[in-house]
Amino acid sequence: MFDGKFRKSVDATTAPVGRWLVRVGFSADWLTASGLVFACATAWAIAVGHHHLAVVLLIATGAHDLFDGPVAKASNRASQRGSYFDSVVDRISDAVLLGGCAYYLTAQHRGQLVLLPIGIMTATFMISYQRSKAESLGLAAKGGLMERAERMVLLGVALLATQIFVPVLWLLLVLTIMTAVGRFWRVWQIAARPEPPVRQRPRRNYQHTGRLRRGPRRTARH
């Protein structure tokens, strides 16, 4: 939802910051890698129960993810390798953060609730996989209620108070599953549409020499 409806306005806001970061010496790959470090720190804070600290670290993690794209554009170094690196690191960050949640629930002797973050992780990876697979087939698969930015915001809400941590995780699970199912249905419907016919270019009549065959040459009569 965020990526689809607010992307242009966000890009307009973050572009000047991206240019400033380039001027002071930051690179997109550096921001992506350091964002993973902050994600690991956030997961540690969640796991040991320092949830208010985890909120601050989660904001820093999101900031790194928000500005690596504008930095790549401002430095004219946007590339397939950078996009691939960013996508892989995002998946690792998601797994690390939800792993911290799972560890916290285990340490609190919540028993089977440890499966809750695992379910969120599974649905999250399905959302990402459906997009990558659909785009490899030439189909659009963006959008949805609970994309990565929305998931990070809702996780931050869960960390605000111990009493709401588990209920908000349940809400996150339900909304993430709904997003995965909705994305599957949209791609399924798009893929069922008949492909437009391919227009064939008119054939030209060529001789064996490869030159265009012309009509009989008229000779001047004397």
DSSP for 48-82? TT-HHHHHHHHHHHHHHHHHHHHHHHHTT---HHH
Distance CA 103, CA 119 (A): 14
State the catalytic residue, choosing from 29, 68, 86, 90: 90
Which of helix, strand or coil describes residue 206? Answer: strand
Does the annotation mark 68 as catalytic?
Answer: no
Distance CA 96, CA 40 (A): 6
Distance CA 165, CA 157 (A): 8
Which residues form the catalytic set?
90
